[in-house]
Structure formats: structure tokens, C-alpha cells
Amino acid sequence: MFKKKAILFFGSANKNGFTFKILNKILKKLDEKYNFLLIDAYEKKVHPCIGCEFCKNNFRCKFKDFEDIDKNIVNAELIIVASPVYNLSIPSTLKAIFDRFQPYYFLNSSDNKKKIKKKRAILVLTCGSDETDFTIVQKQISASLSLINSKIDTKIFWKNTDKNSKITSELINQISNLK
């Protein structure tokens, strides 16, 4: 069976944490349909954008550490972003990856528009607190994903993991409805 291509941007330093627990269930659900490329933000160590504007005229970054991610973004049909939320944001290692989407901004606003295949996105966020409002993080990630012609169509948010370490039936239902 032919499987579609998917990229998973994983933003947690804890490979056995809550973000991984829920993500693992999602991957099991979607495994028959997709081949996943895992971009582990902590292992990849992407150089942050320095605002040099090299990408403005070259439509690529001057740092080579993003090239393999770039090639896979263009061909992906699904993007999954899975991250814990710290202080109303994603970890800096994952933010560095999204900041490197700057060449897509220049590409999309130029006469040299490159057609990037439209893709859907799943956003998975976890947080230890019950007080967290995921709106800010969702806006940050949505803005970055729009540059690669991707739109979030599914959001799975797991709050209060400091007190409730079990995946709720509501979260299980959301995962079982994934396509």
C-alpha cells in the first residue's frame, strides 16, 4: 500500500514524557496511511535565524543544516507539530526550526513563487498547568505553517499533566477520529 509522506516536528526534550505518550498513540493511529519523518528539535539542533536576509534573494538559508528538512517539507502531505508548552510558548529548539521558514516567506511574496503542495497539519500540545491557554502558541505555529502552505485542521491539547498523568477518554476519542 502506498503511504503518504508526513513530517513530525517534535519539540520535547523528554523522550518518555507526556508529549511523547500522546504522540505515540497518534502515530499508531496514522501508521497505515503515512510514512513519518521525525524532526527532533533537540537532536537536530538547527541554527536559529540571524536575520541576514540571504534567503530574500536566494530563497534558501545560508546555513546548510536545514536543507534536508526543506526538501521534505515540499513533498509532505501532513505536518504534525508535537510540543510541550513552557511559559506560553514552544521550546526554543522548535522555535528555531520555525524561524528558519523565512525563505518561504520571501518565496511566497516574490515573482518566483514556488508551488508548495497544500498540506494539512495536526497540532499536539501538552502542558503541566491547567491554567494554560493554548491560543498564543497556536497562533505562533499557524503563522509558521501558513508559509509552507499548511493549515491546522486538528488540535489535540493535553493540559494539567502535572496532576493528571493519564490520557483522558476525551483525548482517546480525538485520536480515534483522526484521518
pLDDT in tens, 4-40: 999 999 999 999 999 999 999 999 999 999 999 999 9
Q: Reading across the β-sheet that carries 78-84, which strands appear in turn?
A: 34-40, 4-10, 78-84, 119-126, 150-158
Residue 178: band (very low, low, confident or very high) from pLDDT cuts 50, 70, 90? confident
Task: Name the pTM for this structure.
Answer: 0.93
Give me the helices (H) in 8-151, please.
18-30, 41-44, 54-58, 67-75, 92-99, 102-108, 135-146
Give the domain 4-176 fold: Rossmann fold (3.40.50)
119-174, pLDDT tens digit by residue? Answer: 999 999 999 988 788 999 999 999 999 999 999 999 999 998 988 778 888 888 88
Question: What local confidence, expressed as pLDDT, does residue 158 receive?
Answer: 92
- Of 165, 178, 85, nearest to 131 (Cα)? 85
